[in-house]
Amino acid sequence: MATYNKFNSFVEALAEKQHNLQSDTLKVALTNTLPTAANTQLSNLGSPITTGFNNTLTVTSSGQTGGVYKLVVADLPMKATEAIGPFRYVVVYNATSADDLLICWFDYGQSISLGIDDTLIFKVDNPNKILIEIS
């Protein structure tokens, strides 16, 4: 089970209107380099893997109830069209923003490699598939 981690800059970027999570294009990148909470944009992660698989997340719902905002995304089957890896971390970023601003990352606990036609299904760990909960 992958462990969720938030990039600290994400909170400020939300407050300063740099994200529209309901309509911006959210994608995932793969890396074997440990992200840190201080990273702000995709280029901070060296050369993450962003090609060779489907990396676009589909937002299924976005909204707040009782002052708690929830962004829910569909499972993402990442079928490799080429050999990919190794990678340990799946990073979620905003591809609509000019600098590919970082949102969060998931640690799989060990490095993974995919061969051609292998599929890794990216699922958010909690039962409601909530990517981000802000209260």
Domain count, the chain: 1
Q: Check whether 16 has a pLDDT greater than 70.
A: yes
Q: Which residues pair with 121 in a beta bridge?
A: 77
Residue 9: both structure tokens together? 């800059």
Q: What is the pLDDT of residue 28?
A: 95
User: Is it true that the peptide bond before 77 is cis, omega within 30 degrees of 0?
Assistant: no
Q: Check whether 76 has a pLDDT greater than 50.
A: yes
- Domain limits for position 72: 3-134
- Smallest CA-to-CA distance from 30 within 118, 98, 96 is with 118
Residue 123: both structure tokens together? 């699922």
Q: What is the pLDDT of residue 69?
A: 84
Q: What is the pLDDT of residue 20?
A: 92
- The 3-state DSSP class for residue 42 equals helix
Q: Quote the pTM value.
A: 0.90
